[in-house]
Structure 1
Amino acid sequence: MKNIPLIIIAFLLLISCGKEAKQKPPATAKKPEPVIVEFGFKFNDFNVVQDTVVSGDTFGSLLEKENLGSLKVHEIVEKVKDSFDVRKMRAGKPYTLLRSKDPSKKLQVFVYQPDRTSYYVVDLRDSVITYKKTKPVSLKRRTIACALDGSLSETLERQKVHASLATDISKIYAWSIDFFKLQKGDRFAITFTERYINDTIYDGVENLEASFFEYKGKIIYAFPFKQDTTSLKVDYYDEDGKVLKNMFLKAPLKFVNITSRYAKNRFHPVQHVWKAHKGTDYAAPTGTPIMTTASGVVENTGYTAGNGNFVKVRHNRTYETQYLHMSKILVRRGQRVSQGDVIGRVGSTGLATGPHVCYRFWVNGAQVDALRLKLPNSEPMAVKYKPRFMKEMAPLKRELDSVAKLKLNM
């Protein structure tokens, strides 16, 4: 070692240090904690607890769990009562506790959310301050066009649309489309607006601007329109200004199956004899709401061995309908009902092999097949409003048709 020149020793030491430096893993920089701001507070500055009101919880009981003491809780409750009615707190609603980060974990802020867009803040940091705020809601508009694959709800969900739109659509087209007969591949397009809280949280469908459905090879358009701009009433019309709403709904139930049609002669599944079946059977789970298909007056309710629990409604001098085999009757004789009102629940009372409703229809006292009837429309659009309707409808129709052509090759 003594005979090795110093310059060589220095060189060897330098190489050795270089190897150690390469082998030593680099120090990783600590990632900064993401900043979370909610309800106007920086959550990073607090010990945060998010929970849900359960049955038996009160504002006072929730504060008592925070070791504030009975006198302090009473003082807070008294101070907030003018701006926050704590009696209206409901089970299932979320609340947030913001506590100090020190070992005491002292409650600083209490936040209660009665709905998705509004919230109450009780700030306890200096003095008791209470206020209500509403989160900003924005509307985003879009048009979708697709072919039916499964149920309407399932098809919409695949388009990332809230399933409630399926219910809205079924109501709009209840007089024009028998949703039991929609088939895979039937095409539709819808223009609608959706709500977003804070621009990011999806909050469902706000309204429908235009739509069309392909049904039995025909395209049926629907455009909302107010004849009187000062009125809240909105009706839906096709591209020619003809009202979609008929005097009668297509069926007394939603999204169910026809199991037996009107027939002059069929084999009765209970009595095991051939006889006429003067109604249409719609199968559905027990308890499913049964709607009156048109407005009118309840002519009769009761029970017979064959019909089970039933309701009969007279709509005018010409038309009557009857609903059989109910598990529960929800109206009384002489009661006035409006189209779509729930008058009973599906059951299997009387001569029935399973839960369903038998829907019967009379015209001038004679029973007829409701599915074969060409039923009357409701009040048409007044002529004076048609130019305004056509002007408002035209760009909406062009947009629907354009998107449908692009996505569905129509």
Structure 2
Amino acid sequence: MKKLTYLLPLILAFIACDTTKDDVVEEEIIDEIPIIEEYGYTLNDFNVIRDTIRPGDTFGVILDANGVPQHKIFEVANKFKDSFDVRKIVVGKPYVLLNSKDSLNTTQVFIYETNKIDFAVVDFRDTVNCYTDRKPIRFQEREASGVITNSLSQTMEEQNLSPYMTDRLANIYAWTVNFFHLQPGDRFKVIYTEKFINDTISAGLEDIKAAYFEHKGKPLYAFNFETDSVKHVADYYDEKADNLRRAFLKSPIKFNFRISSRYNLSRRIKYYGYKLRPHRGTDFAAPMGTPILATADGTVTKSERRGGNGNYVKIKHNSTFETQYLHMKSRNARVGQYVRQGDVIGWIGMTGNTGGPHVCYRFWKNGKEVDPFKEDLPFSKPLPVEFHEDYFAFISPLREQIDCIPF
């Protein structure tokens, strides 16, 4: 009896732990499928095909191979040219097909990316619809700084900054800093905005809000200020509200050029028997296809090809100054067009009388051709006084912020 009393707790414990398979309830774990939304569609509802335009591809070929009826393809090609011209799809551009989730796998939506941000949509469901749209963009303010050791572009690369930053800074300081003769130890700071697509993909530099450049020990501030919020007219001014731009750029070429022939009224050339052949322009030699820039704001008065000038453009800036750009490969300006300083008006070529790729830059003052490098050219107009109060209030926190950025 004592023996059974001793074993009784063990027997009861065994009975309590003896469960059958029927008593076990397994909780089924179901992974939730994330909802993917892009281009305004829920991609989970389709079979998604991503590809790029290949050589030989056409809009019709792509859609025909994916079950879209010919009459719908023709409708898009003929009816929606203004929103999406199917003839202008470019090799290498990405596109997306949203196909039906059935055995036919027919394309219901075609999406063509014109660039990183903009895209065109052709929806074949029910009534054919075509429209353009943009991916969501977020702007993030960022800061950067650097010390020049070799060149500005190399310093930008070392800092993992956009190559467009070099171009933007060169434009801002075009008349105050010679970027072809930077010195080791020159340094810069920038406050800029960067674009992001869908919050994660960088779409590059948007704008420089403020900059500081120290060249040969001289500090140079620049603040981007908008004077017309309707037309979005903005310019860069220093801490005293003076415009950083001259009325004219020093050169119609940005980078990678050399002056191959200067303005010289006493020029004599051996090939022509040392006869007097005045050169009333300045030749800027550069590789074929290099962009040629308008050196100042103005209205195009001539854009044609004629004789020794080849392809050329002439611009009237005001009642005093005119400029002319000769030997272009092709022109990018039409008569009557108003161009801004820095606009691309053509590309370096060899048309007309020329022995190599260059642009002959001619400069008129009061109807007479002169040497622009010997002229005391005016600065652009300073910020009008009526904007001063707003301007100084606007730049005060920016200056404090940029002064606090370490090199």
2:223 matches 1:223? yes
Structure 1 stretch 336-345 or stretch 239-248: which is displaced more? 336-345
Matched position secondary structure for 1:203: strand
Rounded to whole Å, the distance in 1 between the matches of 2:331 and 2:79 is 44
Name the aligned partner's letter for residue 91 of structure 1: I
CA shift in 2, pair 1:270/1:63, >3 Å: same
SS at match of 2:239: coil
What is the aligned residue count?
364
Counterpart amino acid of 1:110? V
Give the Cα–Cα distance (whole angstroms) in 1 for the partners of residues 270 and 401 of structure 2.
51
Evaluate the alpha carbon distance shift between residue 97 and residue 137 of structure 1 in structure 2; reply closer, same or farther with a 3 A threshold: same
Following superposition, the deviation at residue 178 of structure 1 comes to 4.4
- What's 1:57 paired with? 58
Superimposed CA distance per residue, residues 208-257 of structure 1 (whole angstroms, 9 cap, x where no aligned partner): 21112334553332211123445521122111100123221221122132
Kindly provide the amino acid, as one letter, of the partner of residue 57 in structure 1.
T
Name the TM-score, length of structure 1 as normaliser.
0.68
In structure 1, distance between residues paired with 2:81 and 2:338: 41
Native 8 Å contact 2:72 2:128 kept in 1: no
> Within 1, Cα distance between the matches of 2:285 and 2:80?
51
User: Cα deviations across residues 356-383 of structure 1 (Å, max 9, x unaligned)?
Assistant: 1232334456654423443212232222
- Which residue does the alignment assign to 1:390? 392
Aligned partners of 1:85, 1:335: CA distance in 2, in Å? 24
Which string of whole-angstrom CA distances, capped at 9 and with x for unpartnered residues, describes residues 28-53 of structure 1? xxxx9x9794526566x976431134
Is residue 323 from structure 1 mapped to residue 325 from structure 2 by the alignment? yes
SS of alignment partner, residue 227 of structure 2: coil
In the superposition, relative to structure 1, how do residues 53 and 282 fare at CA in structure 2: closer, same or farther (>3 Å)? same
1:298 paired residue among 293, 296, 301: 301
**Is 1:243–2:243 an aligned residue pair?**
yes
- The answer to whether the Cα contact below 8 Å between 1:98 and 1:110 also exists between their aligned partners in 2 is yes
**Aligned residue number for residue 95 of structure 1:** 95
1:356 equivalent in structure 2: 358
The answer as to whether partners of 2:97 and 2:111 remain within 8 angstroms in 1 is no
The answer (yes or no) to whether the contact 2:246–2:377 under 8 Å persists in 1 is yes
1:192 matches 2:195? no
Residue pair 1:270, 1:352 contacting (<8 A) in 2 also = no
Letter in 2 for 1:381: L
Asked if structure 2 preserves the Cα contact closer than 8 Å seen for 1:195 and 1:205, the reply is yes
C-alpha displacement of 1:395 = 1.7
CA distance in 2 between counterparts of 1:377 and 1:140 reads 33
SS in 2 for 1:95: strand
C-alpha RMSD of the superposition: 4.6
Q: Deviations over 1:115-145 (max 9, x none)?
A: 5345748597xx8998987543222111111
Aligned-partner SS, 2:156:
helix
Larger CA deviation: 112-121 vs 351-360: 112-121
Q: Does 1:110 align with 2:114?
A: no
Residue-by-residue CA offset, 1:141-173 (whole Å, 9 max, x unaligned): 111111346665554344333333444434333
Secondary structure, counterpart of 2:141 in structure 1: strand
Q: Is the 8 A contact 2:193 2:207 kept in 1?
A: yes
DSSP 3-state at the match of 2:194: strand
Residue 94 of structure 1 and its aligned partner are, at CA, apart by: 2.8
Q: Is the 8 A contact 1:156 1:162 kept in 2?
A: yes
1:29 corresponds to: none
Q: For residues 334 and 81 of structure 2, what CA distance do their matches in structure 1 show?
A: 42
| Range that drifts further, 328-337 or 353-362 | 328-337
Gaps of 5+ in 2: 1-30
- Identity fraction in percent: 40
Partner of 1:401: 403
Q: Taking structure 1 as reference, are residues 333 and 321 closer, same or farther at Cα in structure 2, changes over 3 Å only?
A: same
User: 2 CA distance for matches of 1:107 and 1:300?
Assistant: 51
Separation (CA, whole Å) in 2 of partners of 1:140 and 1:100? 38
The 8 Å contact of residues 221 and 239 in structure 2, kept in 1 or not, is answered as yes
Whether the aligned pair in 2 keeps the contact of 1:301 and 1:312 (CA below 8 Å) is no
**Corresponding residue for 2:234?**
234
State the TM-score, normalized to the length of structure 2.
Answer: 0.69
1:162 aligns with 2:156: no
Secondary structure of 2:220 counterpart = strand
C-alpha contact 1:225 1:234 (8 A) present in aligned 2: yes
